[in-house]
């Protein structure tokens, strides 16, 4: 329940009887309901005016559509050519060059793989025979090893 202080400022609440308090509350509720009704009616009038305006607009547009001639549908455009342009197409010569280059690369990879395998096997043999722990050759022994390829 709302207070009635705004309506009856000159009287204190504790001096009002129960009946006067109820009467004041009823007056306040009546005032509030009347204000809400007036706001709703104003809104209803605005919407009614808007509906009238929109109905007139729809009639005007329908009349304009009825009087203007209907355009003939345009003939569909031919589909674009989706083939690869000739300047972007690869030639047989280019494919052959690419295949040759790929073969050369694979051959180089295979040779490198074989070389790495032989190096690994030589390192393993040298480790097994103890050659990795020997002192390097110097002087005449080094020259003899370079000439003959043997360590003796």
Contact 1, 26 (CB under 8 A): no
Domain boundaries, the chain: 1-69, 92-152
Residue 65: HSE in the Cβ half-sphere, 13 Å Cα cutoff? 6
Taking the C-alpha atoms of residue 152 and residue 150, their distance in angstroms, rounded to an integer, is 6
Q: Kindly report, residue by residue over 57-90, the tens digit of the pLDDT.
A: 999 999 888 888 777 777 777 777 788 777 887 7
Q: Kindly report, residue by residue over 30-48, the tens digit of the pLDDT.
A: 999 999 999 999 999 999 9
Long-range own/partner contacts, residues 12-17 (CB < 8 A, 24 or more apart): none
Confidence of residue 1 (pLDDT cuts 50, 70, 90): very low
Question: Terminus-to-terminus CA distance in the chain, angstroms?
Answer: 122
């Amino acid at each position: 329940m709302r207070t009635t202080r705004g309506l009856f400022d000159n009287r204190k609440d504790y001096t009002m009887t129960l009946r006067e308090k109820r009467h004041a509350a009823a007056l306040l509720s009546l005032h509030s309901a009347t204000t809400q009704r007036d706001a709703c009616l104003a809104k209803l009038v605005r919407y009614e005016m808007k509906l009238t305006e929109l109905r007139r607009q729809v009639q005007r547009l329908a009349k304009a559509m009825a009087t203007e001639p209907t355009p003939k549908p345009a003939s569909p455009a031919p589909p674009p050519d989706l083939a690869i342009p000739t300047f972007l197409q690869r030639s047989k010569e280019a494919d052959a060059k690419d295949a040759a280059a790929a073969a050369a690369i694979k051959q180089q990879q295979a040779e490198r793989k074989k070389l790495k395998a032989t190096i690994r096997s030589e390192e393993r043999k040298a480790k097994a025979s103890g050659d990795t722990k020997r002192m390097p050759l110097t002087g005449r022994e080094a020259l003899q090893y370079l000439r003959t390829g043997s360590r003796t």
